[in-house]
Amino acid sequence: MTVHEQHRSHRTGWLRAGVLGANDGIVSTASLIIGVAAAQTSQSGVVVAGVAGLVAGAMSMAAGEYVSVSSQADTEKADLEIERQSLAENPEFEHQELTELYVSRGLSPQLAGEVASQLMQHDALETHAREEIGISVTTRFRPIQAALTSAAAFSIGAVLPVWAAWVTPPERLIVAVAVLSVVLLAVLGAIAARAGGAPVLPASARVCFWGVSAMALTAAVGQMFGVAA
């Protein structure tokens, strides 16, 4: 019987962008709505503030993720170009370098040399990129994918607090948005933990703690400025 191991490292790229985006969407938008509502703003004003926060946050997430991942991708491309040039100019040195790497991992010098030769014949650049630099197909940086994932995830997370602020009577708006947001954060933490193979309760507790802290702080600020006004 063939046994297949299920690894999850290939999910880290989209999982990170998706979880961070949705988490930020819920926390920042719900906190903004609660803070504005605590300042005795009208319901329409609260909803407008929430929508504005959704749009601005999604664009900010996309831009930030794109710039960050693009910088990492540029570094990756530069490293690959150095490796490509070295393979073209001095393949013997690169073969010896790869052989020594395999020897350091426990292979005999003869076997290490044979493995290095066969892998370099198959795809020298891919082999050296993976073994020397740590670049593989599953971890390559994709700026556009990361930007779109972050923006979409932020929007999905942010639209729910906005919806709650829109449909809830003004006198129950703050409580409704806060409760919905905490539930969403707990679910998000659980989903992220299951997808990544981590314990569910600690992940949910983390996101809920920081979400509640952000909402409480913005509520206090909104109430303070509302009273001052």
- pLDDT tens per residue, range 120-170: 888 777 777 777 777 765 556 678 888 888 889 999 999 999 999 999 999
195: tokens are: 């997808």
Q: What is the pLDDT of residue 195?
A: 72
Residues contacting 43, CB < 8 A, separation 6+: 165, 166, 170, 173
Give residue 174's domain range: 11-228
The answer to the question of residue 5 being in a domain is: no
The answer to the question of residue 91 being in a domain is: yes
The answer to the question of residue 221 being in a domain is: yes
C-beta atoms surrounding 15 within 10 Å:
16
What is the DSSP-derived secondary structure letter of residue 1?
A: -
The answer to the question of residue 1 being in a domain is: no
The answer to the question of residue 31 being in a domain is: yes
Q: What is the pLDDT of residue 140?
A: 61
Residue given tokens 């997430």 in the structure block:
61
Q: Would you say residue 228 has pLDDT above 50?
A: no
Q: State the pTM of this model.
A: 0.71
The answer to the question of residue 191 being in a domain is: yes
- The share of the chain scoring above pLDDT 70, in percent, equals 88
For the chain, the domain total comes to 1
Q: Are 39 and 144 in contact (CB under 8 A)?
A: no
Q: Would you say residue 194 has pLDDT above 90?
A: no
Q: 55 pLDDT band (50/70/90 cuts)?
A: very high
The answer to the question of residue 3 being in a domain is: no
Instruction: Please report how many Cα atoms fall inside a 13 Å half-sphere around the Cα of residue 68, on the Cβ side.
Output: 12
Cα–Cα separations (whole angstroms), residue 18 to 25, 108, 148, 166, 172: 10, 44, 9, 25, 30
Which of 2-11, 12-21, 162-171 shows the lowest mean pLDDT across its residues?
A: 2-11
- The stretch 11-29 carries a mean pLDDT of 75
